[in-house]
C-alpha cells in the first residue's frame, strides 16, 4: 500500500468520506514530513503548523457531524508564495517583500478555503516568479526530492518539491511560460495550466498580466480535476476572467479516449531533446494508440517563434511592474531577477506591440494546425532536471527554447504528466495541449494515460 503521504488527493478524499481517516491525521502526516525533510528540500517559506492543526480539528468535528464544506474538506494544501493570504506573509521569495502581510485573500485561496481545504503554508518560488534558482535571497532555493543536487525547476519550485516529497497533497503554482509544467515534469507530478481566463489571478502578484495563469500541481490528473472543480469560476474583479459555465471535470475522466485524434508534435523538440525524452514521447504515443486514440503527426510553427514572442512580452510587462522599485531599490532584488528583468527596459513600445500582434498570429496558427485533432502530444522538457551547478545562468532564456511557452502564448490548456524516467531515475514529463476551454479533454486523456501506466507511479525515497 502507498504510504499515506504519497496517496493521491482523490484517494484521501474518498478515505475521509468513508471515515477511514481524519483531517487531523492528514495534517499531522504532512507536518511530520515537513519537519523530517524540509531542512534539505527547502520547499516552504512559511509553515502554518498551529493554524493547520486548528483547522483540522474543526474539520474533524464538522465531518463527524455530517457537515462537509466541500470537495476538498480536510485536505492539506499549500500555496506558492505569490498568492495573497490575509494576515500571512506573502513574500514572493524576495527581500523587497520580506515583511509583506496582505489584508485580503486571493480568489484562489477564497475558493479553496470555502471548499474546506487546510492551508499548510506558503512555498518557495523563483523570486517574483522569474529570478532563480537563487542563493542571494532571504530563503534558500527549493531542491528536487528525487535528487537534491538537482533543481525542481521553476518558478513554482517549492510547490513542486512539496507535493513530490509528500509534504502536501496539492500545491498551487503559477504559469507564465511553463512555471507549473516545468516543476510538474521534473518532479514527476501532474500539473495543469488551465485555459487563459478560466481561473482568477486576483490576489496573485503578477509577472506578466497577459500570460499569467494559476493552476494546481498534484500527484495525479484526477487530483488536478478535483482542484479545477473547486477553483474554476468567473471573478468580476479579474479583468481577464471569462464568464463561462464550469463543466464537470470529474464525471468524464473515466470515459474511453477511443476515437480521439491526438496530434503528435515532434518538430518542437526534435534536435533539442535528449534521447530519454525522445523515448518517453514514443512510449507515450504508443500508450495512447493502445488506448484507442489515433496518433496524427502534426507540424506546428517553430518553437523558437513562440519562445521569442512570449519572452518579449514577459520581459516588457515584468519590467513595467517592477520599474519603480528597480530604479529606487535595486539592492532589494537578487542578482538573477535584477539582471533578467532590466532587459525589459531595452524593449521599445513598438516592439512590445509587434510582439502582441505576433502572439495573435501564432495563436491563430495553432488553432488552424489543430483543427483536425482533439489535442496535441509533445515534449515538456529537453531532459531531466539540471543540477544546480548547471542552472546558474544569468539569462537562461537565451539557451534552448521553452517547450512550454506555446500554450502561454495561445492561452490554451496544457497538462503535464509523468511519462517515464531518464537514466539515473529522474522523472520525465510529457505535455498535452488542448483547445481553448477544452480543459476537460486534456484531463481525461491524462487520467487515462496514468491508469494505463501504473508502473510509473513511484515516489522519491528521502
Give yes or no for a contact between 153 and 210, defined as CB atoms under 8 angstroms apart: no
Domain borders along the chain are 7-308+347-456
Grouped pLDDT means (10 residues each) for the chain, 462 residues = 89 97 98 98 98 98 94 98 98 98 98 98 98 96 98 98 98 98 98 98 98 98 98 98 97 97 98 96 98 98 98 98 98 97 98 98 98 98 96 89 98 98 97 98 98 97 94
pLDDT given for residue 156 in this prediction? 98
pLDDT given for residue 176 in this prediction? 98
**Sheet of 44-47, strand order:** 44-47, 118-123, 76-80, 170-175, 213-218, 190-193, 414-421, 427-434, 375-379, 261-264, 294-297
pLDDT given for residue 396 in this prediction? 86
C-alpha distances out from residue 156 to 79, 204, 403, 418, Å = 10, 13, 16, 17
CATH 3.90.1300.10 fits 7-308+347-456, yes or no: yes
Residues tagged active-site: 80, 155, 179
Contacts of 89 (CB under 8 A, 6+ apart): 45, 46, 81, 99, 100, 101, 122
pLDDT tens-digit readout, 182-198: 999 999 999 999 999 99
Rounded distance between C-alpha atoms, residue 350 and residue 355, angstroms: 9
pLDDT given for residue 392 in this prediction? 87
Burial label for 368, CB within 10 Å (0-12, 13-18, 19+), is exposed
What is the three-class DSSP state of 47? strand
Run of H or E including 42 = none
> Which pTM does this prediction carry?
0.98
Closest CA to 420 of 432, 431, 412, 428: 428
Amino acid at each position: 500500500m502507498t504510504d499515506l503521504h504519497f496517496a493521491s488527493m482523490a484517494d484521501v478524499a474518498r478515505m475521509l468520506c468513508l471515515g477511514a481517516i481524519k483531517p487531523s491525521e492528514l495534517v499531522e502526516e504532512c507536518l511530520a514530513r515537513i519537519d523530517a525533510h524540509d531542512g534539505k528540500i527547502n520547499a516552504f517559506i512559511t509553515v502554518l503548523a498551529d493554524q493547520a492543526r486548528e483547522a483540522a480539528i474543526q474539520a474533524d468535528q464538522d465531518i463527524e457531524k455530517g457537515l462537509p464544506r466541500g470537495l476538498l474538506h480536510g485536505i492539506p494544501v499549500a500555496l506558492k508564495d505569490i498568492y495573497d493570504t490575509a494576515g500571512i506573509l506573502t513574500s514572493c521569495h524576495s527581500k523587497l517583500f520580506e515583511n509583506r502581510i496582505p489584508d485580503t485573500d486571493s480568489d484562489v485561496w477564497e475558493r479553496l478555503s470555502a471548499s474546506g481545504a487546510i492551508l499548510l503554508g506558503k512555498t518557495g518560488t523563483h523570486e517574483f516568479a522569474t529570478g532563480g534558482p537563487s542563493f542571494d535571497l532571504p530563503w534558500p532555493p527549493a531542491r528536487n526530492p528525487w535528487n537534491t543536487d538537482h533543481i525542481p525547476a521553476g518558478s513554482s519550485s517549492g510547490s513542486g518539491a512539496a507535493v513530490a516529497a509528500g509534504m502536501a497533497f496539492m500545491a498551487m503554482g503559477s504559469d507564465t511560460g511553463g512555471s507549473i509544467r516545468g516543476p510538474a515534469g521534473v518532479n514527476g507530478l501532474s500539473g495543469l495550466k488551465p485555459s487563459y481566463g478560466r481561473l482568477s489571478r486576483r490576489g496573485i502578484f503578477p509577472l506578466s498580466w497577459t500570460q499569467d495563469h494559476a493552476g494546481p500541481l498534484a500527484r495525479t490528473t484526477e487530483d488536478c480535476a478535483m482542484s479545477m472543480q473547486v477553483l474554476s469560476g468567473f471573478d468580476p474583479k479579474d479583468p481577464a476572467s471569462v464568464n463561462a459555465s464550469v463543466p464537470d471535470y470529474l464525471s468524464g475522466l473515466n470515459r474511453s479516449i477511443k476515437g480521439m485524434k491526438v496530434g503528435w508534435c515532434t518538430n518542437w523538440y526534435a534536435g533539442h531533446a535528449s534521447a530519454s525524452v525522445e523515448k518517453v514521447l514514443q512510449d507515450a504515443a504508443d500508450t495512447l494508440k493502445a488506448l484507442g486514440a489515433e496518433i496524427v503527426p502534426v507540424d506546428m510553427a517553430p518553437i523558437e517563434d513562440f519562445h521569442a514572442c512570449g519572452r518579449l512580452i514577459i520581459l516588457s510587462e515584468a519590467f513595467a511592474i517592477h520599474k519603480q522599485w528597480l530604479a529606487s531599490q535595486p539592492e532589494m532584488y537578487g542578482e538573477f531577477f535584477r539582471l533578467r528583468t532590466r532587459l525589459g527596459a531595452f524593449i521599445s513600445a513598438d516592439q512590445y506591440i509587434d510582439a502582441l500582434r505576433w502572439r495573435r498570429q501564432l495563436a491563430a496558427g495553432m488553432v488552424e494546425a489543430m483543427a483536425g485533432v482533439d489535442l496535441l502530444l509533445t515534449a515538456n522538457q529537453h531532459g531531466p532536471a539540471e543540477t544546480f551547478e548547471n542552472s546558474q545562468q544569468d539569462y537562461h532564456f537565451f539557451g534552448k527554447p521553452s517547450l512550454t511557452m506555446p500554450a502561454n502564448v495561445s492561452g490554451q490548456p496544457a497538462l503535464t504528466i509523468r511519462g517515464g524516467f531518464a537514466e539515473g531515475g529522474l522523472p520525465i514529463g510529457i505535455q498535452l495541449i488542448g483547445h481553448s476551454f477544452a480543459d476537460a479533454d486534456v484531463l481525461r486523456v491524462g487520467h487515462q494515460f496514468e491508469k494505463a501506466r501504473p508502473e510509473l507511479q513511484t515516489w522519491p525515497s528521502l
